[in-house]
Amino acid sequence: MTANPLSAIPPMTAPPGPQSSQSPRFTPLDPLRVLRQYAKVLIVAFVVGLIVGVSVFVYMRKYAPVYASSAQMAVTIPPSGIWDANDVADVRADARNVSTFIRNQVVVLTSNEVLEDAIKHDSVRNTDWYQSFTDNREVIRNLQDNLRAGQVSGSTYINISLSVQGEEKRNDLPIVLNQVIQTFLRQFRLNNELQTSDVRRLFVQESDRMNDELEQIQEEMTRFTRENELPTLDANKNEATIEYNKMANRLTDLSLALEVSKENHQKLLEKSSAGRVTYTQDELLGAEKSEKVAAIDARIDNLEQGRELLLTRYGPQHREVLNLDDRISIAEQSRAREIDKYLRETHEAKLRNSKDNLEYLENQMAIIVERFEQSRARVQDVNAKIQEFSSISQRRDAILSRLGKADELLELVRVRSLRPDFERIKLLLVPTTPVLTSPKLGAYAVGVPMLFVGAVALLIFVIEVLDQRIKSPSDLRLIPDVEPLGSLPDASEDPSKPDTIENIVRTDPHGLLAESFRQVRTSVLTRMDRRGYKTLMLVGAKGGVGVSSLASNLAISLGFNGRKVLLIDANFRRPSLHRILNTRATPGLVDVLTNKASLAQAIHTNDEAGVDLLPNGEGHDAQPEMLEGAAFRNLLSQLESDYDLIVIDAPPALVTSESQLLAKRVDAIAVVVRAMNEKRGMVGRMIRMLDGHRADMLGVILNGVRSNAGGYFRQNYRLYYQYRNESKSNGKSNGQSEPKTPRKKKSRQTQEAETETPA
């Protein structure tokens, strides 16, 4: 780095990518932290709300008390049938229908008709409550505003309540409420009686009409039977049906016989036309047994007997034997002709018989078909009459059924009027003695304070969500591409209450602030050593954030760490490091850069702090551009050779341009932010402005962090001092004593100068 002090240094963090450069619009909150932080405010809000609530309660109790009287009515679920018990009906009841009925009755109870009728009674008109109004319309409006009625959830009860404002009218509440309920019940019973009478009259009229209609139907049935001569209404036993069935069976049999006859006659015709008539064995036997064939057979037998005698006597060649042979042959031929003739005649006779039988069957078929059609027409006519008669019978049966239902409903109406458990609504609890309903101490003593606390808490959360200021290290993580390097508590948070934080690492090395500086030093040094960085610029967004105090304490802490450290005051407009380290202000950096003094003359050593200081010098009229020139670059190169670490105190980045020029020359940058003083957007804008130069953005150091009430930081501070005090006690018990570093009491002017202000 000494050889090429301006070489490019790769950043420690990932290169900028397509990440959002805007911090969130709203601040994420930890509700418990906010509640702990503002616990005292919420307690004050609760106390104020309690005082206001009790005051309002006392006022309302004295000047505007509200009393109410209540009553209760029961809705009875009637049985389904006139002989059913109530428990059976309860099981069958439809809860939705009951709820609808109750809602309807509540509407009637609060209707103008009921209320106007109720206030007409003398018991209501004689009350102080009624006489306090000027006219009945005002009375009705008051009743509608203060009368409440509704179903008790999960039951068949109706709660009714009436409220009034004022002590003097409360005793009238039961009277008015009772009269309203009685008027409602009276009208409800009257409506039921009217409905029952109307239903009974309707059923009687309908029953008379149906009896007249039934009588007419009976006359119609008698006349129809007489006119149509229907001896029976059974279709299967009717004469026409029986005749129709016989004709159908006869027609079926003839159809089968005719089909068989046609088939046989057709076969005979086919055999005759083809000349290939075949005869059965019975036909052949019949031919042989015919008279002519039998006579021929007898002649043949006689001739054969004579031949046998002649053959025995004369031999086969005798003339007489040969003559007999011829006669026998002739007889046999004659026999064959007779048999053939007999068979032909038999076949012809069969053919004639088949034809005659076919003609007979066809004639019979025509006769049966005609009779079948006639019987079927008669059956259809009879069935139509039977159907018509059946329709009349069905009308009669329907009227009889309706007449029976009407009689049953009339009986049901009569029994309902007699049974007490069929009364749908009845008074269960009479109006009670008026009780105070408003104001309630609990509502005002608890509700109003909680309302105050809720409003204050809501306001606090809105303010916290919209607050863009950086208050804790967690807020730094809301800024894109920002890494916290550490946090330093506010001096007022240190239980030791130091007079000043300047040089606190040296003046109070065992204190909380010194320990916090060392933690920041460790975080910064780790990042510097990891990359071999030597120059570190500390810069804030604006003045007053404590950059100079942080630079001096960080340098002293690094010096105690065994490093050779140089502090450079690069704040031309408001230099302060020479005062903090109690050295001369000149010569300094500006004098070296303008060749008015040598580097050895400008560097001042503070032996107590263990660091060297290059003050600003005569820099009030110095041009910031000298930090961009070759002289400053060569100076840094020489200093990097002589020192382990160089810490530069830079002016505010958003106020001056020197910080951007220094960012081109140093190795690393640490941004200093004062808690509760700067917003996330401003810090993010400053970081984006410094980023992209040669220097690597190490992160942000949060200065002046205040602990929340009972929060994390305060608890850690107390634990630190508890641990420190225990260590001291253990050391003293072992005969050891801790050396004390004397602390100078500074003047008021010096303390005021320690706080930086914007240039």
Tokens of 29: 């909150």
Question: What token pair was written down for 242?
Answer: 């029986």
In this predicted structure, what is the pLDDT of residue 709?
38
In a domain, 722, yes or no: yes
Range of the domain at 646: 483-728
Give the burial string for 197-215 (b: 16+ CB within 10 Å, else e): eeeeeebeebbeebeebbe
Residues 449 and 534 in one domain: no
Q: Give the Cα separation of 13 and 698 in Å (integer).
A: 8
362 lies in a domain? no
Residues 690, 83: Cα–Cα separation, whole Å: 97
| Reported pTM | 0.50
8 Å CB contact between 77 and 93 = yes
Here the tokens at position 223 are 């006349």
Domain boundary among 428, 463, 498: 463
Tell me: do 529 and 658 sit in the same domain: yes
Task: Report d(CA 399, CA 402) in Å as an integer.
Answer: 5
Q: Let me know how many helices (H) and strands (E) the chain has, helices first.
A: 27, 13
| Same domain as 491, residue 453 | no
Question: How many domains does the chain divide into?
Answer: 2
523 found inside a domain: yes
Angle CA(295)–CA(296)–CA(301) in degrees, nearest 5? 100
Residue 734: how many other CB atoms lie within 10 Å: 8
pLDDT of residue 719: 60
For residues 554 and 683, state if they share a domain.
yes
Q: How far apart are the first and last CA of the chain?
A: 33
d(CA 263, CA 361): 13
**Tokens 């501070």, residue located:** 717
Domain-embedded: residue 265? no
Does 576 share its domain with 677? Answer: yes
Report the residue count for the chain: 759
Task: Say if 237 falls within a structural domain.
Answer: no
Q: Are residues 699 and 557 in the same domain?
A: yes
Give the tokens for residue 119: 């206030």
Nearest Cα residue to 582 out of 700, 659, 503, 514: 503
Same domain, 629 and 543: yes
Residues 123 and 166 sit within 8 Å (Cβ to Cβ): no
pLDDT value of position 179? 92
| Domain membership flag for residue 558 | yes
Secondary structure of residue 489 in the 3-state scheme: strand
Query: CA angle 416-420-422, nearest 5°?
Result: 50
φ/ψ region of 193 (left if φ > 0, alpha if ψ in -120 to 50, else beta) reads alpha
* Residue 128 resides in a domain: no
Residues 458 and 543 in one domain: no
Residue 445 shares a structural domain with residue 582? no
* Mean pLDDT, 10 residues at a time, the chain of 759 residues: 39 42 61 79 92 90 90 79 47 68 90 91 90 90 91 90 88 92 90 78 82 85 75 61 82 85 79 68 78 84 84 82 85 84 80 83 85 83 81 86 79 66 80 89 88 90 78 76 82 71 80 85 90 92 87 89 90 88 89 90 86 86 83 91 93 87 91 85 84 85 72 56 57 44 36 34
Widest Cα–Cα separation across the chain: 202
* Claim to verify: residue 707 and residue 619 sit in the same structural domain: yes
CB atoms inside a 10 Å sphere around CB 85: 10
Residue 66 carries which DSSP code? Answer: E
Residue 340 domain-assigned? no
Last residue of a domain, one of 429, 463, 497: 463
Q: Does 587 lie in the same domain as 669?
A: yes
CATH number at residue 506: 3.40.50.300
- Alpha carbon distance 100, 600 (integer Å): 103
Structure tokens given for 171: 């005793």
